[in-house]
Amino acid sequence: MPKNKETHDTLVIHVSPDTSVHKVEGMPWFARMEIKCDLLKLMDEGFFLTADGNIETSKGYVTNKNDPATRKLFKRQPEWTGTIHISANSRGAWLRCHIDEWDHTNIYEVYGKRRGEDGELKLAYYYLCFGDENINCVYGDRRALKGFWAWPQEEHVQLNNVKGSKETSQDEKKGNVGYAEQPPSYQAAGSSAAGNH
């Protein structure tokens, strides 16, 4: 029997207004989404955010009146549940952070972890906006993910299918069975500031 009683997978998404800025300190605001989910289901069916549907902005609150940061609760059962924490360098920047305007181009970094047979979370998906070591241990780089997924998008899949029509994907070469032992060798510039994964 697994030692860990938790059964959900986890998805952590870091969002920024400008993914060309690679340091959190240089961003007007930075958001961290922490999601409990069935990771495979979100990959298969898509992951969608709608401010008028599955984001409960009425439950949002400010953590400190002197600190322009807020946490907004959002959920959609049974697919997933989670929180969004938004930190900003000014109240003006915080007010200009509109969740309903986010799309996949705002995604800075993503960690997706699945439960193994031992009950422990294992890295199955990793994305970094300025990296080239993105990982999808489930579907590789030849299946587009729908909704709020940064990679692979349809354009990535088409490009990879052309490049790799006569080649074996990296996941197949490695004999990947759905998990990565470690994240890529680098760390995102904002990872430590955004919190643990």
Q: Which of 43, 17, 24, 39 is nearest to 107 (CA)?
A: 17
**pLDDT tens across 95-153, in order?**
888 888 889 999 999 999 999 989 999 999 999 998 788 999 999 888 889 989 999 88
Domain boundaries, the chain: 9-180
CA atoms of 151 and 168, how far apart (whole Å): 19
| Amino acid at residue number 190 | G
CA atoms of 125 and 117, how far apart (whole Å): 17
pTM exceeds cut of 0.95 = no
Return the half-sphere exposure (C-beta side, CA atoms, 13 A cut-off) of residue 170.
Answer: 11
